[in-house]
Amino acid sequence: MGKKGYIVVSLDFELLWGVHDHETKESFTKQIDGARAVIPQLLELFKEYGIHATWGIVGMLMASNREELLECQPTELPTYSDPRLSSYNYITEVGENEQEDRFHYASSLVNLIATYNNQEIGSHTFSHFCCKADGQTVAQFSADLDCAQRMMEKTTGRKARSLIFPRNQFTEEYATAASKKGFQCVRGNPKSYAYNNGKKKLARVIRFLDTYLNVCGMKCSSLEDCKREGHVIIPASRFFRKYDTRFPFLEKAKVACIKRQMSYAARKGKIFHLWWHPHNVSINSDKCLEQLRDLFEYYRELNRQYGFESRTMQEMADAVCLS
């Protein structure tokens, strides 16, 4: 048998902190409540199929109350040109604690994740920091990560080792800065144009087509591709898009695309990295969970046939460093 392939699963957990610039409590209630309800179900599903996952969690979500949230503020706040991006501009809206404000606090869910085996608690920065937004600096990013690690240690007793960049605004420079704050491993983007040009219209159209047709290819990485000086970058291979009620007939094609990538990684000894937000599977969650179950059944089959294995980002980084 040749080289072994891997599936890496990562989730961006942010609730309202990740969407303040375009959603409100009112417009996003269904998604937030759905995300909170689906997380325990995802954990049980991961357990049943032996899926190791990394949860990139916004540090602000981890605060147990307002006092703790205010206490843990960076020395330098982000100076975005668009003030709507700064989470610090919404602090006045935040309630006292999780019982009062389920949109901005989630320590009960973070604690629940921590009770499960094979689930890594990683970071999604402290304030959902946007690394490519105009106006911010790498020093502000580093100050944010100091807070993220402080909150992480308070909540879990140890520093995080994996980082997921908000909005996939990844750069090699910021990955290096993160490695200086203890993040040995980050999620990168696939090499294709569509995945490195965020909101551009053409990129969005290509990404949409890629969901159903794999137009950007398999997007799996070799272990060597991930190695950098002092840290590891594990590029994403696939975003698990929400169940689209506008195109139910395409949902089968979406799952088939993911299976094709999984099979490719298993056969070629590569890394397939699947990611999503809990809120992406919060509407029509039964259908989403059914699709994930189907994918994890397929993972089992590939595991038996090719020795395909599931890894958290951190576990994958350890394997990359040893390779």
Residues that bind Zn ion (CB under 5 A): 12, 14, 18, 166
Q: Which is nearer to Zn ion, 18 or 78 (CB)?
A: 18
Q: Which is nearer to Zn ion, 87 or 261 (CB)?
A: 87
Distance CA 65, CA 62 (A): 9
Q: Which is nearer to Zn ion, 190 or 269 (CB)?
A: 190
Q: Rounded to the nearest whole angstrom, what is the least distance from the CB of residue 265 to Zn ion in the complex?
A: 25
Q: Is 57 helix (H, G, I), strand (E, B) or coil?
A: strand
Q: Rounded to the nearest whole angstrom, what is the least distance from the CB of residue 124 to Zn ion in the complex?
A: 6
CA distances from 151 to 73, 113, 148, 173, 198 (A): 10, 16, 5, 24, 29
Q: Rounded to the nearest whole angstrom, what is the least distance from the CB of residue 14 to Zn ion in the complex?
A: 5
Q: Rounded to the nearest whole angstrom, what is the least distance from the CB of residue 167 to Zn ion in the complex?
A: 6
Residue of 47, 36, 29 lying closest to 13 (CA atoms): 36
Distance CA 270, CA 275 (A): 16
User: How many other β-carbons are positioned within 10 Å of the β-carbon of residue 22?
Assistant: 8
Q: Rounded to the nearest whole angstrom, what is the least distance from the CB of residue 163 to Zn ion in the complex?
A: 12
Q: CB of 113 within 8 A of CB of 42?
A: no
Report residue 58 as tokens. 């916004």
Q: Which is nearer to Zn ion, 18 or 278 (CB)?
A: 18
Distance CA 59, CA 56 (A): 9
Q: Which is nearer to Zn ion, 14 or 309 (CB)?
A: 14
Q: Rounded to the nearest whole angstrom, what is the least distance from the CB of residue 23 to Zn ion in the complex?
A: 12
Q: Rounded to the nearest whole angstrom, what is the least distance from the CB of residue 184 to Zn ion in the complex?
A: 20
Distance CA 122, CA 161 (A): 6
For residues 161-171, b (16+ Cβ closer than 10 Å) or e, as one string?
A: bbbbbbbbebb
Q: Which is nearer to Zn ion, 126 or 308 (CB)?
A: 126
Q: Which is nearer to Zn ion, 56 or 190 (CB)?
A: 56
Q: CB of 243 within 8 A of CB of 282?
A: no
Q: Which is nearer to Zn ion, 18 or 190 (CB)?
A: 18
Q: What are phi and psi of 158, to 5 degrees?
A: -150, 165
Q: CB of 168 within 8 A of CB of 189?
A: yes
Q: Is 94 helix (H, G, I), strand (E, B) or coil?
A: coil
Q: Which is nearer to Zn ion, 169 or 303 (CB)?
A: 169
Q: Rounded to the nearest whole angstrom, what is the least distance from the CB of residue 239 to Zn ion in the complex?
A: 12
What's the angle, vertex CA 140, arms to CA 135 and CA 145, rounded to 5?
135
Residue of 321, 312, 311 lying closest to 226 (CA atoms): 321
The gap from C-alpha 137 to its chain's centroid, in whole angstroms, comes to: 22
Q: Rounded to the nearest whole angstrom, what is the least distance from the CB of residue 298 to Zn ion in the complex?
A: 27
